[in-house]
Structure 1
Amino acid sequence: MVSDGIDRLGFLIHDVQRLMRKRFEARASGLGLSSAQWRLLVRVAKEAGVEPISVSRLVDRMEEGGWIERRADAADRRVRMIFPTEKANAAYADVKSLAGEVYEESLTGVSLEDRRILIRVLDTIVQNLTDGETSSLEKIKNTEGRAA
């Protein structure tokens, strides 16, 4: 039987994710954020307010560092929301730029059409595995659409 390589799919996706994260973390280390902190920073910057239930210690450290601020929710004073500070917004631009560089390096030699196919196929895989949840790509598209 001739293999079409599909048996390596999970390993390839995992390896690509690991290598991209490693490259990004090496470049982003000078920003003064841990990988967990920059992931939270990106989420806060994109969503403009996150309820800090499961990440309270991380949020505490980021607030102490001047990256985020807590505010009471206008609709429910019991809820505290987190928002990026100017320092975080500036770092977010750096993080986004670094991510773009790593993405470009990872896709060197891959045509624009093949890039589109890759994203479409991975998005389809995510949709197949999320049981009706919105995929990461769709969340990004929706966020970008609101910002425009």
Structure 2
Amino acid sequence: MSNSNTHILIAVGCLALLLIFLMYKKIAARKKNILPAEGGNIDDSPNVALNSQKPENKKLTLQERIELSWKFLYDITEVILNKFSKEDVIQVNKCGQVLFENGVRYEHVVDLAIPQVKSHTQAVEQEQSKDKKALGV
């Protein structure tokens, strides 16, 4: 009986070692994917070249901003419409036509400034300071 228990313990031990080895190998593979390859130059990737361009290198004129903005709008519209079926595209176009006939107009605002979202704390502090000023404190 004890010989059978010994075999079971050895099998469980080997299985545990195998699991530990596989987990180690998986973790090592993740670290290898995160770290850059030895001898490789990170700057060779096209994304780094695009991201390293500084915005102050070229300022866009208002006309260029408007053209790029409209181009983006048309491109994204085309991509979205191509993802829908013909019936869906027809229905969207009909809805757009009804809105147009009822006087709804699209106003395209070209502004590259990203609105800054205030944190809740900043909003509360600003509101409290306004209240204090209103009360004359």
TM-score range, shorter chain: under 0.3
Higher strand share: 1
Q: TM-score, normalised by structure 2?
A: 0.26
Higher helix share: 2
Q: TM-score, normalised by structure 1?
A: 0.25
Using CA pairs below 8 Å that are at least 6 residues apart, which structure has the higher relative contact order?
1
Structure possessing the higher radius of gyration over alpha carbons: 2
